[in-house]
């Protein structure tokens, strides 16, 4: 506000004394009326909330043989692998934050903080340290739940109402940035329902200008009631430091994951619509009579899915889920995922020029055929990969916009041949050496052959790729 004031003053001086007299009086400042107003502080709130925020340390030590054969030598040339033989040891470490959400010892953090870690420790604000058991991982939300066994004295933070947040509300971020120790920063809610962040499948983030830095991941975003309204998870930065653009997972999603862990579940099950959705463009909005682009367009449906059973049609525009508006497929996915896997939810749908309400059954995606998990241990480009049969349930878990059949890579061991040749989780194996692969048994039979060359065709994100390997 100072720059406009200076410009007004310069203009007044240029016009002379008469113009200067006409300049509006500056706004009055109110003096504090009591000592209490002078001493207003977030300190009482921090004293209440900070003991619930912890430091999370992860470690993973990988040991593998460095003995080489013909295929390893081929990979060394192209991928830079080195080592004359023997045993190599590689240690990975991570540092983040977490929040105690149950006095019995449950702690929520980001999945990326403990991803691939086989040893996890938690340090409380009073410097006590405990080994932590990983109770649940949910990569789709980038959340994980840990459990520690502490002899009493745990302070759990209550969940707040993230749905009631408004842009401009004060919030505090508590965590362990850069490993310097517990730190509190203050800011406001800068935006809500951010969906183009890219750090999780369910994107519906709270944006804040409270400083969030590396190490804050998994820490608490706290409202002025001292309640948890979000788990800090990502920042927008070109330098690695805070630029005042941080993102937190809303407490409504965090609570759903924690409730699954409390119930003994190790996998969060969510409802399945069975439809492919896309953004409503300005042209589409104009063609269906919307005054601005909003909602999601139904592009196609899976046979016998809840979407088809409910009577949704291609070209329908879904405007809301139980009266909660949705502006894009990510917002719909978030709202729909919170509904659980029983009962039904109501979708407000624009069909042509008519607005109708469509009840949709809430149920998880079905496993229409066994996964028949195959861990490939034979010498081939797939060595170290885990493959499973596709089904609607698997396609939903891996967020594949593909037909629900075939064989998909479910996991790839770090440092394995499959990893080094570039295979990724979610790759659908189409054919090997020209032979179609429709089940994991097909893949098992093919990879047991002692071949000197491999032609592998995969579908990655809808794009078909073919590579040739030798060794």
SS3 39: coil
- Give the closest residue to 191 by CA, choosing from 141, 140, 239, 248: 248
What are the structure tokens assigned to 101, written together? 């959400």
What are the structure tokens assigned to 444, written together? 């098992």
How far, in Å, CA of 200 to CA of 111, rounded?
A: 10
Does residue 69 have a known ligand-binding role? no
Does residue 411 have a known ligand-binding role? no
409 within 8 A of 426, measured Cβ to Cβ: yes
How far, in Å, CA of 273 to CA of 309, rounded?
A: 10
Does residue 112 have a known ligand-binding role? yes
What end-to-end distance do the CA atoms of the chain give, in Å? Answer: 69
SS3 4: helix
Q: Known catalytic residues?
A: 112, 142, 217
Cα separations (Å) of 215 from 97, 317, 433, 456?
6, 41, 46, 40
DSSP E strands, 269-353: 275-279, 296-301, 317-321, 324-325, 344-351
Does residue 164 have a known ligand-binding role? no
179 within 8 A of 57, measured Cβ to Cβ: no
Render the burial of 85-96: b for 16+ CB within 10 Å, e for the rest. Answer: eeeeeeeeebbb
Does residue 198 have a known ligand-binding role? no
What are the structure tokens assigned to 446, written together? 């093919």
How far, in Å, CA of 329 to CA of 203, rounded?
A: 10
* Residue numbering of the annotated binding site for substrate: 112, 142, 215-217
* Residue numbering of the annotated binding site: 112, 142, 215-217
């Amino acid at each position: 506000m100072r720059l406009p004031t200076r410009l007004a003053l310069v203009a007044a001086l240029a016009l002379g004394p008469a113009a200067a007299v006409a300049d509006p009086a500056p706004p009055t400042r109110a003096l504090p009326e009591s000592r209490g107003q002078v001493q207003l502080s977030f300190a009482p709130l921090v004293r209440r909330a900070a003991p619930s925020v912890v430091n999370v340390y992860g470690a993973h030590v990988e040991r593998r043989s460095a003995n080489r054969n013909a295929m390893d030598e081929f990979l060394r040339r192209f991928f830079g692998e080195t080592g004359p033989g023997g045993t190599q040891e590689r240690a990975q470490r991570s540092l983040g934050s977490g929040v105690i959400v149950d006095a019995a010892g449950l702690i929520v953090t980001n999945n990326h903080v403990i991803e691939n870690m086989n040893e996890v420790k938690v340090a409380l604000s009073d410097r006590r340290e405990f080994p932590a058991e990983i109770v649940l991982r949910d990569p789709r939300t980038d959340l994980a739940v840990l459990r520690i066994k502490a002899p009493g004295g745990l302070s759990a933070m209550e969940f707040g109402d993230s749905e009631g947040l408004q842009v401009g509300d004060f919030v505090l971020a508590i965590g362990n940035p850069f490993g310097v120790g517990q730190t509190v920063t203050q800011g406001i809610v800068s935006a809500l329902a951010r969906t183009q962040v890219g750090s999780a499948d369910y994107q519906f983030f709270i944006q804040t200008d409270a400083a969030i830095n590396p190490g804050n991941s998994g820490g608490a975003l706290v409202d002025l009631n001292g309640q948890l309204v979000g788990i800090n998870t990502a920042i927008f930065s070109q330098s690695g430091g805070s630029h005042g653009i941080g993102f937190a997972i809303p407490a409504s999603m965090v609570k759903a994951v924690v409730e699954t862990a409390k119930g003994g579940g190790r996998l969060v099950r969510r409802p399945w619509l069975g439809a492919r959705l896309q953004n409503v463009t300005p042209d589409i909005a104009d063609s269906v009579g919307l005054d601005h682009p909003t909602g999601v367009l139904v592009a196609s449906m899976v046979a016998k899915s809840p979407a088809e059973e409910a009577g949704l049609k291609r070209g329908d525009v879904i405007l809301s889920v139980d009266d909660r508006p949705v502006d894009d497929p990510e917002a719909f996915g978030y709202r729909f995922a919170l509904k659980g896997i029983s009962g039904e939810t109501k979708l407000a749908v624009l069909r042509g020029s008519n607005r109708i309400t469509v009840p949709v059954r809430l149920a998880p995606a079905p496993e229409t055929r066994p996964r028949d998990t195959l861990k490939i241990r034979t010498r081939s480009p797939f060595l170290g990969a885990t493959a499973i049969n596709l089904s609607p349930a698997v396609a939903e878990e891996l967020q594949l916009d593909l037909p629900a059949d075939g064989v998909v890579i479910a996991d790839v061991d770090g440092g394995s041949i499959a990893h080094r040749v570039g295979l990724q989780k979610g790759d659908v194996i189409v054919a090997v050496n020209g032979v179609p692969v429709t089940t994991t048994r097909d893949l098992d039979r093919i990879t047991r052959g002692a071949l000197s060359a491999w032609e592998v065709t995969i579908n990655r994100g809808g794009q078909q790729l073919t590579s040739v390997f030798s060794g």
